[in-house]
Amino acid sequence: MFFFFFFVTAVILFGILLVTAFLSFLVRHSNHSSKIKPKKANASLCAVLGSGGHTTEMLELIKNFDNEFNMRIYIIADTDTISEDKAVAHEKSRNNEKFVVEKIPRSREVGQSYFSSVFSTLNSCRFAFKLIYRTRPDLVLLNGPGTCIPVAFAAAFFDIIRLIDTVIVYEESICRVNKLSLSGAILYYLGMVDSLIIQWPELKKRYPRAIYIKDFKEKST
């Protein structure tokens, strides 16, 4: 009887702990938090390169960064050699040696059955958790297809247990005009991203917490 009582109490307390941890994560990462981040000299960046157009868009954004992000981790799907070449070419062009390209097992190939995709998703999650634990990036950049979800979960998990302090930014593809992609919607509704950037004003009406890309203004200094 006593054992049962303690067990129930323990479960409830643990539940409360989890909920509190997640809520404090949401507060830390919401758009409205106005805390002042400690300044760092440089940081590490982890970018998930989707494939094709996603990779192009992501590198387009990364081209604006210089040595303030002095360590770069590129995550690509293990079947995608073109993105690897593009990432390597980009880093070569700025004479940077400090980068790695990590291959993550794809969570779902086109045409794969639903049942076996459960296992391959678990497999890519395991990979993502190990990778984030090992590299501990300061910034995780995502912009698209399924592969980015395990990485986002891993980064959020280690941030919730306060092992790392990570900023997660998702930039929706310019192809999405009326509706977020599935990955984008998952991250939006779970509130797991610090900023979700959208490229069309139509999306802003439907997803008010997202940031419209043309609302960023040049700072007058």
Report in angstroms how near the CB of residue 29 gets to another protein at its nearest: 9
Regarding 219 and contact with another protein (CB under 8 A), the answer is yes
Which residues ranging from 161 to 190 are in contact with another protein (CB under 8 A)?
Answer: 167, 169, 171, 173-178
Cα gap 47→45, rounded to integer Å? 6
What is the H or E stretch that residue 26 is in? helix 2-29
| Residue at 79: amino acid letter | T
CB atoms within 10 A of CB 124: 23
Site string for another protein, 104-143 (x = CB under 8 A): ----------------------------------xx-x--
Regarding 39 and contact with another protein (CB under 8 A), the answer is yes
Asked if 50 contacts 214 with a C-beta cutoff of 8 angstroms, the reply is no
Residues whose CB is less than 8 angstroms from the CB of residue 118 and which lie 6 or more positions away in sequence, other chains included? none
Regarding 43 and contact with another protein (CB under 8 A), the answer is yes
113 or 221: whose CB is closer to another protein? 221
Regarding 194 and contact with another protein (CB under 8 A), the answer is yes
Which residues ranging from 55 to 84 are in contact with another protein (CB under 8 A)?
Answer: 56, 60-61, 63-69
Residue 47, phi then psi, degrees to nearest 5: -120, 135
75 or 193: whose CB is closer to another protein? 193
DSSP 177: S
Cα gap 55→62, rounded to integer Å? 10
Joined together, the tokens standing for residue 215 give 């609302």
Please give the residue ranges that form the binding site for another protein (CB under 8 A): 37-43, 52-53, 56, 60-61, 63-69, 138-139, 141, 167, 169, 171, 173-178, 194-195, 197, 199-200, 202, 211, 213-214, 216-219
